[in-house]
Structure 1
Amino acid sequence: MKKILVPTDFSPQAENALKVAAQLAKRHNCEIYLLHILEIPLHEVDALSSYNNLPEAVFFMKLAHKRFEELKDKDYLQDLVVHETVDFHEIFKGIFHVCKKHDIDLIIMGSNGVSGFKEMLIGSNTEKVVRTSEIPVLVIKKEHDAFDVNDFVFASDFKNESKENYDKAIQFANVLNAKLHLLMVNTPNKFTTSADSKQRMQDFVDSSKFSNYTTNIYNDLSIEKGIMNFSQSIKADLIGMSTHGRQGISHFFNGSISEDLVNHAKRPVITFKI
């Protein structure tokens, strides 16, 4: 992990994410890319360079630069490499554009739930980022004076299509020096026998040499509640899960489970796309 992207609207929630990014950057010698999106309609001009002649764009560019400078003067960013980027895309498109351009390894976003998402990344843009980002997305809910992750829950259906994300979760657990708690939630509508569940998880475990883990089967009324209740029971520091576009994970996560969990869980959540 070398490059971290932090989209910001300069809100307290966005700064919470930036503080976590700064801690990770200092531990792992990463660069931080701060991104602010100016949602000025592109159809108003013929080309991006034309914004130099658009008074509205010039004003907001200067304002963003001023706020960037104020942020970069914060004590927690001292001695770090911080790049400032302003983009004119729609929010979620701008994030993807910057990720591809700079080969970003991790996106960190701030939120305090639904209201926080609406404040930072308006409406469905956040859902699109969490659901479709090819890069892991870490969502931070509150200020962390010390972002220490000892117990990391990774929830999955443990089918073959999720093995790549299991590997990503292992990599992140190694970065954080955290214990990984593999979790399969059983619900009345998505019932799997204990024997089948254990075998699926064992197949994943056998596919790697990672040893700092536990395996867990948890029964609850819904997958979302099961993940949150299990995480609460072990006082987990982070929840990880897979996303699979609009279709959800086959036979496990469907609809908006990833977005719902990101909105409702009190703990930080990291998502990996299949």
Structure 2
Amino acid sequence: MKSLLVPTDFSKYAEAALEYAAFIAKIRKSTIHILTVVRSTDEAEYKKAEVDLKQLLKLDFLANIKIETYIKIDGQICDKIVECAEEVEADLILMGSHGTSTVSDILLGSNTDRVVRKSEFSVLTIKHKVSDMKIDSIVFASDFSPESNRIFSIVRTFADKFDAKIHLLKVNTPTHFEPTRVSMEKINHFIENEGLSPISGDKYRVALYSDSTQELGILNYCIENEIDMMALGTHKHSFWQLMFESTSKNLVTHSFRPVLTIPIPE
């Protein structure tokens, strides 16, 4: 986790994401790459972006962190974010979000949704300023199908680096119900495939939770267990994963905790 990309529109939402990136960078000795996108070729707007970036670097929480800044001109904002992520070989994109879902010329909000759904990069979305900077617990919400094994290494690495406990969470809903026996068989098979073992020092617990919707189940579980971060996969094809992609978008919009979304490889 050496390369962190933080897109900014200089709003308080983007600043919350930047502060969280600084928290990670100080622990992991990461470089933060700050990107802003100028939506026109007007020289005055470019100059203003330069001034705003210089002002941003004066924030106290960025002290003693290696920072690189970038200005991209024109084009689709989502595309420019992904382009920059590729250039800096980002391990993680951190984005603020104010929950806007309209088609508007803004950097955050709807563009956060697009990056989460379409990017090949893991995206950590911060909806609000996080007052208690810690990662002691991470929920991995999943159906624990074989595809889940493709992305769990990212969650596990994240947890290992912060010595966090992973909560393996399966949410049952009235429309997507599964008997406990079936859920536990899947989870136990998942644990076996991942080689998770308390004897080896792995910190995890299994949780089955019932609620009216997937996102409410995840949110309510996190509230009841004081979870620091949520993690889940996004996929473009199977019905269940299309449903869960919608869940991840809803969590990004409504969550009070950072949400880590990880693209499931084809």
Normalised by the length of structure 2, the TM-score is 0.90
Q: In 2 relative to 1, CA 216–22 (structure 1 residues): closer, same or farther, beyond 3 Å?
A: same
Q: In 2 relative to 1, CA 199–252 (structure 1 residues): closer, same or farther, beyond 3 Å?
A: farther
Shift of 1:17: 0.7
Counterpart amino acid of residue 179 in structure 1: K
How many Å separate the matches in 1 of 2:156 and 2:60? 32
Which one of 110, 113, 121 corresponds to residue 127 of structure 1? 113
Structure 1 residues 212-236: Cα deviation after superposition (integer angstroms, max 9, x where no partner): 1001111111111111111111111
Q: Does 1:64 align with 2:49?
A: yes
Counterpart amino acid of residue 256 in structure 1: S
How many Å separate the matches in 1 of 2:130 and 2:225? 19
Which one of 217, 224, 240 corresponds to residue 233 of structure 1? 224
Which one of 84, 88, 91 corresponds to residue 98 of structure 1? 84
Q: Does 1:6 align with 2:27?
A: no
Contact kept? 1:156, 1:252, Cα under 8 Å = no
1:176 aligns with 162
2:173 aligns with 187
1:154 aligns with 140
Q: Does 1:271 align with 2:256?
A: no
2:199 aligns with none
Shift of 1:79: 1.6
Q: Does 1:167 align with 2:153?
A: yes
Shift of 1:126: 2.4
How many Å separate the matches in 1 of 2:118 and 2:159? 22
Q: Does 1:219 align with 2:204?
A: no
Structure 1 residues 26-77: Cα deviation after superposition (integer angstroms, max 9, x where no partner): 111110100001122xxxxxxxxxx5xxxx1x11111111111111122211
Question: Percent sequence identity over matched residues?
Answer: 35
Shift of 1:143: 2.0
Aligned Cα root-mean-square deviation (Å): 2.2
How many Å separate the matches in 1 of 2:120 and 2:97? 20
Contact kept? 1:96, 1:133, Cα under 8 Å = yes
Select the structure of larger CA radius of gyration. 1
Shift of 1:125: 2.5
Counterpart amino acid of residue 48 in structure 2: L
Counterpart amino acid of residue 35 in structure 2: L
Contact kept? 2:8, 2:35, Cα under 8 Å = yes
Alignment of 1:109-120 (within 5 A): 109-114=95-100
How many Å separate the matches in 1 of 2:16 and 2:243? 28
Contact kept? 1:184, 1:218, Cα under 8 Å = yes
How many Å separate the matches in 1 of 2:243 and 2:68? 36
Structure 1 residues 112-169: Cα deviation after superposition (integer angstroms, max 9, x where no partner): 4348997953564322111122111111122235420112111001101121111211
Structure 1 residues 179-216: Cα deviation after superposition (integer angstroms, max 9, x where no partner): 00010111111111111111111112112244210011
In structure 1, the gaps of 5 or more residues are: 41-50
1:26 aligns with 26
Q: In 2 relative to 1, CA 177–114 (structure 1 residues): closer, same or farther, beyond 3 Å?
A: farther
How many Å separate the matches in 2 of 1:252 and 1:185? 16
1:84 aligns with 69
Counterpart amino acid of residue 34 in structure 1: I
Which one of 235, 250, 253 corresponds to residue 243 of structure 2? 253
Counterpart amino acid of residue 26 in structure 1: K
Alignment size in residue pairs? 258
In structure 2, the gaps of 5 or more residues are: 197-201
Q: Does 1:139 align with 2:139?
A: no
How many Å separate the matches in 2 of 1:117 and 1:31? 32
Shift of 1:111: 2.4
Contact kept? 1:153, 1:180, Cα under 8 Å = yes
